[in-house]
A and B are shown apart, each in its own frame.
Chain A
């Protein structure tokens, strides 16, 4: 059975960009042990030589005409951004 430690939960939270509290980490550790314990039963199934199905439509290479269409204006998009400055979205320092 896959073991999930608190450090594993912290690592996954980092991969998922979630800044979790200690309490949340404890709760998620318990839940993930239970969930992974259940889904592990899939390993019993013999899938040798079976191709995976990532999507069910069977569609391949769907094309559309490369024509300009009216879309949403930059002003409208800036209006719904949490912060903007000089017609750009404002964010904290990256480095």
Chain B
């Protein structure tokens, strides 16, 4: 059911004013937003109300993760080094939404530079879960997920490098789509790992995700890895689909409430006429190791640009070398430094072949494994994360414990596949749980169509 369409009944100024009032009301408690964009948003709202800006999203307010370059507020990436950075350009995704009349009213909290899965690595404090403020929001796009769950805005933008849209969507009971790599432009978003970074949306329904993806998708001359637009909103193309449950994601190590919701979703799929059976993809065992080699390597390269010279915070230092070292030490969070260091290690001479090259070869085997399954199955399903939202501080003592929470989202990222987190009910403790639907490359619209077809299924009645 579309929530976005409700916004056409009221003026843009009312929509924007209401969103900002709601943001101010709840942000003290949840810390979902790092900035509210008021002046520019109201100017644009008035232009919509005067009929000067029209489009499919005319007067609809939204929030962008604070790694999207947006006019009207700084872009900090939740880091200190970009604490005062006012972007001189806007991201392509923002430009496309604005061209349809949407209005950005705020910037959402994240793990600094999107490094993390809980939003606890923000330089500006953690975001709290929308259902329980003692739990994490998930991450790295935690603020965006919470902003939609709390009803501040009908949609928000996130970025997903290894699960950063899907996992917070699962933890806060909203829809989150990570499109096929190359469907949405990365231009104007602070880069994390260029070979897996994908831009996508948080919404209240599959239908809204479809509308928004249709708007933001497509080739961009400013991002040479974008593909010609293949996204076509559709109803269910195949009435009887073959669906595989990934066995490696349903072990005893997974929280029983999570397994129960995946099995309930499988029952709903069967009830709707689809075939569901267990499938194996043994190489999944190695994907987290691949991810934590490839991504830190790309992170260490992408973060080399933050040197205190051309923009961002600069430390006082007598020599250039000390200026670089001190600006970066002061400007990055502990997790940023950890990933830069691991990246420098796996790329350094003597270790490159054993780590980085081996991981990229393993990635080929992972892609081959997925391709083989998609010869038989239309869609693969499984949990988004091994547990519902965990406690704030619970996993932050050891980085490896935190990394293990990414184990189910990184495979689709490394293979560039579309994947969606669909709300599928609650844990016994009342926390939302999402189910992950993974499709072959370019099957974004088909995945959304499947999710849409199940939205009113009675077997999922207690879904968030």
Q: Report Cα–Cα, A95/B305, bound state, in Å.
A: 21
- B318 contacts across to A, CB distance below 8 A: 92-93
Q: Is the CB of A93 within 8 A of B340?
A: no
Is B66 on the interface with A (CB-CB < 8 A)? no
Q: Is the CB of A92 within 8 A of B319?
A: yes
A19/B85 contact (C-beta < 8 A), A12-B345, A13-B341, A31-B338 known: no
Q: Is the CB of B364 within 8 A of A50?
A: yes
Give chain B nearest CB distance to A40 CB in angstroms: 8
B-contact bits for A6-33, CB 8 A (1 contact / 0 none)? 0001001101111111001001100110
Q: Report Cα–Cα, A52/B357, bound state, in Å.
A: 7
- A18 contacts across to B, CB distance below 8 A: 325, 328-329, 332, 337, 340-341
We find that the number of chain A residues with CB closer than 8 angstroms to chain B is 50
Residue of B314, B317, B319, B360 touching A83 (CB-CB under 8 A): B314
A to B contact number (C-beta, < 8 Å): 170
**Chain A residues touching B, majority SS:** loop
Q: Is the CB of B355 within 8 A of A24?
A: no
A82/B88 contact (C-beta < 8 A), A53-B363, A91-B323 known: no
Q: Report Cα–Cα, A51/B319, bound state, in Å.
A: 44
- B314 contacts across to A, CB distance below 8 A: 82-83
Give chain B nearest CB distance to A45 CB in angstroms: 5
Q: Which residue of A lies closest to B351 (CB)?
A: A2
Q: Is the CB of A17 within 8 A of B307?
A: yes
Q: Which residue of B lies closest to A44 (CB)?
A: B286
- A42 contacts across to B, CB distance below 8 A: 286, 289-290, 293, 355, 358-359, 362
Q: Which residue of A lies closest to B315 (CB)?
A: A19
Q: Which residue of A lies closest to B332 (CB)?
A: A18
Q: Is the CB of B398 within 8 A of A27?
A: no
- B225 contacts across to A, CB distance below 8 A: 55, 57, 59, 62
Residue of A19, A45, A56 touching B365 (CB-CB under 8 A): A45
Q: Is the CB of A41 within 8 A of B286?
A: yes
Chain B 311-349 interface residues, beta-carbon cutoff 8 Å to A:
311-314, 317-326, 328-329, 332, 334, 337-338, 340-342, 344-346, 348
Give 7 nearest A-B pairs by CB, closest first.
A19-B325, A56-B416, A52-B360, A82-B314, A47-B361, A50-B361, A17-B324
